[in-house]
Structure 1
């Protein structure tokens, strides 16, 4: 088994190599006073050293949090082969070589995220810049969007983060007394930085969601329906500024607690219900989960993530029920699995789509 690098072995290493070695050393256990002083001095020595260590920490999180991604699976296999240690001891057993390999994976881009995800963050954008001072300022206004099958995280000036799901768009416009975001289409997860003096307001259709510091998701289901799901904190859902002037119905403000969701439809009474948060947020990992839904409903959801569309040849087939967790963006794989679960067969279409029809 490789030994844990000591500070004396790090002199003369490039910043990325030294950062990987320091991470191995720190992961093995608390630094002694002398080592801690040397680490602090090394990190403060240059902006390059500080940036390299931040990248090393990002590599650790990426390595540990992306099961199923081929590039990281290969690195994980190499690490496990180098030393059989408990989770926290893994880096202690793999030495500088494997640590550098993990950094190499992130050198593809610290903005490398599995399943086509993007990230708009100051520390990520700085990856390609030669100088520490090149970090761009995080925005507090602008429009951001994703294509079909894409995800993107936007980090804002106040520290809030917005993750857009497939085919989604937002418009951000912070003002002095409010942090305003309009969900133009699709679905987004909002991780709101606390600011008791400036509420965070998401406008979606004719309704709005107001928070101070919390985590919640908003999805525009169609032109007159939206769903709000609260992960953490508290939000209020009520009428927005864009309510038509001739609309006599006024929604009674609804307060959501963690684990609750609210379905709001124009002209109907809002429906509040308990939500399975893990199931709801699987899209962030590139998956969707179905629990006894019709095949037609499952296909409608899968079609959000790919230009290659799934179609059904008759209503009876669409009424079959399906459950399971499926990777997004792969209609052929979905059709193949459904063909094993249900009495349906698949037929490729000239446009690249897949038709599901009754029969084996």
Structure 2
């Protein structure tokens, strides 16, 4: 046991990683500042790191919120090995070994959902996977949230602004020329006076689809790259630019409002990517050739498993369901 304890003490922050490098750095500083041995140079380095990028302080402070949140504490209490290491009195700072143990337990157990928790803390409205929610906004406009979506509202002092934190929202906006209506995603912002459109944010781009009216879409990168959409048009926005305007089949792309997914001659892999948004478990494809097969269909979103089973039959692929919601096609 003494040998194992020594190994534990020698473990470094690199043993625990997060897919977002900034969050990973924040975790490293978080553990480092709780070992009780930081000196003036360490504190100076930490302040320099915070000042380097606004996200650094945001992620670090958010991690402190997670650390003290009820889900974290309940998770620790549920694990005897963690409880014994973490719940004994240890002064104002936890020992480094205990902090590292907590981080490893949460990561390994899939409990540490820092990005999801920070979004939930910012959001005014949230939908679960597979759910939708209709919201009447303070100005009388209507907002329909799609699966796994979170939004924050700002309707104070004449403002009409929505921040799409995650997912997809359809908006039917009441006309008010004196108070423009804006929606911002991760990469772009939409400005309207009175119209109906959808905004979807993803890991690498935002997408805007206009059903009726007229909107202006601009890139948050510098505010200069922009596009004006007419009904039946779509555009995507990345961290660097706004794409050319393309025609959109709104009856298909907005079919989710009626609880359906519609596609024609689309790669099965793309269709499965869309269905994954509405499925609580994972959908895996063991043979890449299956992803390339072209399929056409119109399916209900409240029965994702049934849709995948039918698509597997069409593609000639085997369908296997594993307890816990995991679906495998091969």
Task: Tell me if both proteins adopt one fold, taking TM over 0.5 as the criterion.
Answer: yes
Whether the aligned pair in 1 keeps the contact of 2:219 and 2:240 (CA below 8 Å) is no
User: Are 2:131 and 1:178 aligned?
Assistant: no
Q: CA deviation at 1:329?
A: 3.4
| TM-score, normalised by the number of residues in structure 2 | 0.60
Q: What SS does the aligned partner of 2:124 have?
A: strand
Normalised TM-score (structure 1): 0.55
The structure-2 alpha-carbon separation of the partners of 1:258 and 1:283, relative to structure 1 and needing over 3 Å to count, comes to same
Q: In structure 2, what is the equivalent of residue 302 of structure 1? A: 275
**Match of 2:205?**
225
Corresponding residue of 1:324: 297
Aligned to 1:95: none
Inter-partner Cα distance in structure 2 for 1:265 and 1:221? 10
The size of the alignment, in residue pairs, is 209
Between the aligned partners of 1:250 and 1:213, the Cα distance in structure 2 is 21
* Aligned residues of 2:145 and 2:168 also touching (Cα < 8 A): yes
Q: CA deviation at 1:238?
A: 1.0
SS of the counterpart of 2:306? helix
Q: 1:215 aligns with which of 171, 186, 196?
A: 196
Shift of 1:314: 1.9
Do 1:142 and 1:173's aligned partners in 2 also have CA atoms closer than 8 Å? no
1:289 shift after superposition: 0.9
Greater shift in the superposed pair: 313-322 or 330-339: 330-339
CA distance in structure 2 between the aligned counterparts of 1:204 and 1:270, rounded to whole angstroms: 15
1:352 aligns with 2:325: yes
**Structure 1 counterpart of 2:309:** 336
Return 185-194 or 267-276, whichever deviates more.
267-276
Q: Residue in 2 aligned with 1:169?
A: 150
The answer on 1:272 being equivalent to 2:245 is: yes
- 1:162 positional shift: 0.6
1:189–1:216 CA contact under 8 A, matched in 2: yes
Equivalent pair of 2:235/2:242 in contact (CA under 8 Å): no
Residues 120-178 of structure 1, C-alpha deviations (whole Å, 9 max, x = no match): xxxxxxxxxxxxxxxxxxxxx97101000000011012110110000001101113343
Q: Which shifted more, 226-235 or 250-259? A: 250-259
Tell me if 1:190 matches 2:171.
yes
State the alpha-carbon separation in 2 of the partners of residues 145 and 264 from structure 1: 23
Whole-Å separation in 1 of the counterparts to 2:325 and 2:151: 30
Distance 2:329 2:123 in 1: 41
* 2:262 match: secondary structure: strand
CA distance in 2, matches of 1:297, 1:275: 17
Shift of 1:320: 1.4
Of the three residues 126, 137, 147, the one matched with 1:145 is 126
- 2:202 partner SS: strand
1:238-272 Cα distance to aligned partner (Å, 9 max, x none): 134xx4xxxxx654221111111111222345121
Partners of 1:309 and 1:337 in 2: how far apart? Answer: 17
**Structure 1 residue 281 and structure 2 residue 262: aligned?**
no
User: SS of the residue aligned with 1:305?
Assistant: coil
Give the C-alpha shift of residue 323 in structure 1. 1.2
Q: Secondary structure at the match of 2:200?
A: strand
